[in-house]
A and B are shown apart, each in its own frame.
Chain A
Amino acid sequence: MAINKDSNGYTFTFAITLVVVVGTILALLATGLKDRQDRNEEVKKQLDILSAIMDVDKKKIDRSNAEENFKKFVDLDKAIVLNSKGEVLEGIYDVKGNVVEGKAFDVDIRKEFKDKKRKAEHRNYPLFLGEDEKGKTVYVMPVIGNGLWGPIWGNICLGADMNTIKGASFGHKGETPGLGAEITQKFFINGWVGEKLTAEDGVFAPFKVVKDNSGASTDSKVDGITGGTITSKGVEEMANRCLEVYVIYFNNLKTK
């Protein structure tokens, strides 16, 4: 081989070829698989909402049958979108704050949360209505916030009294496995079940994630995760910021 591999020409040619080849493969792959991935994400969203309402493991609901169960337990026709003042929107906000046509399920709160162009008051707050296994009405509110390394999110499910947390599901992008990532585990979620959103006077009672193991016995207090303090605090902030909006709506509904 007569090519001088140390020449600038060869180095450049190699680098450019490599980049083009790798770039092409990645681009083809990303576009080719996009439909499937989007579909998977939609199913995951349904599964997340369902797992806030009930124990999906026990009911043997997984990705394969999430869609039919979602239709059975969640009534998307009744789902509404609130604005940050807790008022019902006739549609959804776009980035500039104009109300455009849209459905609650199509709102991507993760995208809205990290979108710097969107003002905080123009975030959409979807509210899903459904029923649990026993046929009782439940309300599911998606929440979104920041953990230690990236976004965290979740769905919080209220019972028919629009006040008591019946269940929840949390997710995260990249929290530390075994520490912050434990927010998805049952033991952490169980700490939220049974807590009430408002005090007796109907005012929103902010949650506090605590370290002293008093969460189980005290109202509005939830036990945090050892070694996952910042993520736990992130869940606290996320729940308080998002749920407050829904409480305004529920209070208006009750007084009507």
Chain B
Amino acid sequence: MSEGIENKKAPREPLFSKKNKKLVTEPLADNNPVTIQVLGICSALAITVQVEQGVVMGGAVLFVLVLGNLIISLLRNLIPSRIRIIVQLVVVAALVIIVNEVLKAFLPDVSEKLSVFVGLIITNCIIMGRFEAFAMANKPWPSIMDGIGNGLGYAGLLILVAVFRELFGSGSLYGVKLLGSNIPGEEWGLYTMGYVNNNMMILPPMALIIVGIIIWVQRSRNKSLIEEH
């Protein structure tokens, strides 16, 4: 597993050392893959109309990222640097396809939910970004932690954006109608008082605006995140 580096005689790091924990906690806020590293924006636009989809996509990316980080990290001393990007791409694509094939055979309902996202997962820049920036240069365990952290950071942001968009765009959360129903003839709740869903929220540009607002809020609360240009 980690023969290459073991012989450096450094004392073994505890599995949950401060440094390793930081790998998980940092991407959740101050080094969020979407708002700070600005990766994976495209999928954040495409699938944040409903919370449920955010959860499914977040979970799928988390899974692929952890497993992929582990594989790349194990192979990192073998991968020729000239074709490393292609190798990374092959690993993601193979992983996603394997997962999808297995799900199709054993959990067809989950696979149906996921089918739309398969392409989005493969092209998600967070995955390639973490492979290239982290797993290629780090041992397997920190890479797994990094995968968990970035996966969760991505999922968290997706869900946050989706909460706004689903609540104001469809008046529901996770499919549950919170504000009432606007089906003609069966109105109840806020809709009886003339409340109308904001259709803008459903359209992709609104996701960009919400992500922008989140970035703005985050940077105004933590000035150290602001780049000097």
A-side residues, CB < 8 A to B, are 5-6, 10-11, 14-15, 18-19, 22, 25-26, 29-30, 33, 36-37, 40, 43-44, 63, 173-179, 181, 187, 213, 216, 226-227
Contact = CB atoms under 8 A, between A and B. Distances in A.
Classify chain B's interface size: 35 or more
A98 B115 CA distance: 35
Contact of B80 (A6, A37, A216, A227): A6
B202 A178 contact: yes
Interface string B146-187: 000000000000000000001000000000000000011100
Contacts of A19: 90
Nearest to A15: B83
Nearest to B107: A40
Given A14-B79, A26-B94, A36 B53 contact: no
B108 A29 contact: no
Contacts, number: 88
A25 B94 contact: yes
Contacts of B184: 213, 216
Contact of B83 (A14, A26, A43, A216): A14
B160 to A, nearest CB: 16
Nearest to A181: B116
A29 B53 contact: no
Interface in B57-88: 78-83, 86-87
Given A14-B79, A22-B90, A33-B104, 11 more contacts: A5-B78, A10-B80, A15-B83, A18-B90, A26-B98, A29-B101, A36-B105, A44-B108, A177-B47, A177-B116, A178-B48
Contact of B116 (A5, A15, A22, A175): A175
B97 interface: yes
B37 interface: no
Contact of A5 (B81, B106, B115, B185): B81
Given A33-B104, A178-B49, A227 B199 contact: yes
B183 A187 contact: yes
Q: Which 4 A-B pairs have the closest CB atoms?
A: A178-B49, A33-B105, A36-B105, A40-B108
A175 B109 CA distance: 17
Contacts of B115: 173-174
Contacts of B108: 37, 40, 43-44, 63
Please indicate which of the listed interface residues A26, A213, A227 has the most CB atoms of chain B within 10 Å of its own CB: A227
B90 A226 contact: no
Given A18-B87, A44-B108, A33 B98 contact: no
A202 to B, nearest CB: 30
A122 B82 CA distance: 51
A216 B186 CA distance: 13
A177 B81 contact: no
B119 interface: yes
A30 to B, nearest CB: 6
Contact of B106 (A36, A43, A179, A216): A36
Contacts of A40: 104-105, 108
Contacts of B46: 176-177
Nearest to A14: B80
Contacts of B210: none
B98 A179 contact: no
Contacts of A14: 78-80, 83, 87
A1 B48 CA distance: 49
B105 A25 contact: no
